[in-house]
Amino acid sequence: MSVLYQNILRMGTMVEEAHQKALIALSDRDLTLAREVIEGDAKVDEMQAIIEDQCARLIATEQPVATDMREIFTAVKIVSNMERIGDHARHVARAVEKVNDPTFLATIPRFKQLAQIGILMVHDVITAFVEQDADKAREIAGRDDQIDRMHDELTKELIALMKKNPESIEQGMTMILLARFMERMGDHVTNMCEWIVFAKQGRHIELNN
């Protein structure tokens, strides 16, 4: 199981780094860094496949007891959600060349604040999984409320800017979609937290509803 944990930690680091690079690329309008993020998404997908294969081998060869089986099944769910979070970094990178209007570039600092909360949640949820810490998972899931509030505020701001600048509606819509992707990051982390609680306690619960 230690190798499994190491691979999940590695995948989590890859996803975190992808988001950090995507945010820098968006802020600096760095198309080279954006391409690096887009191309690197394939490596995240490869890591997901490696971990899922590893989980299948553990089930086939180790005949795990119920607790270990829950942990292995949770690992599959964790990497599935991480892969989707990695996709969101790719979406941000692809938007770099689309957003160039100063009106909407000015909202990027608030977008980054929203994204950074989600990135920290990703980092912490991987730690909670490795440590099998259900209490930490519950605390992490509670942060999704903050993401939801910030997402709502940013969306309202973007809509107001679009009304004042109808010639730039397309760029405004791009930023709204990106903000939605960051809001979804919180939802994916919450799903991961629910699976961590399941692995530890053997029961499904809904967090942060």
Which of the 8 DSSP states describes residue 139? Answer: H
Q: What's the CA gap between 184 and 179, in Å, rounded?
A: 9
Residue 206 lies in a domain: no
Residue 209 lies in a domain: no
Q: What is the CATH number of the domain that holds 121?
A: 1.20.58.220
Residue 21 lies in a domain: yes
pTM, to two decimals: 0.93
Select from 144, 155, 149, 90 the least CA-distant residue to 117: 144
Q: How many domains does the chain have?
A: 1
Query: Across residues 40-68, what is the average pLDDT?
Result: 91
Select from 127, 143, 137, 136 the least CA-distant residue to 182: 143
pLDDT value, residue 201: 86
pLDDT value, residue 56: 93
Q: Is pLDDT of 130 > 80?
A: yes
Token pair 């996709």: residue: 87
Q: What's the CA gap between 63 and 186, in Å, rounded?
A: 34
Q: What's the CA gap between 89 and 23, in Å, rounded?
A: 8
pLDDT value, residue 209: 63
**Structural domain of 75:** 2-201
Q: What's the CA gap between 47 and 41, in Å, rounded?
A: 10
Q: What's the CA gap between 55 and 48, in Å, rounded?
A: 11
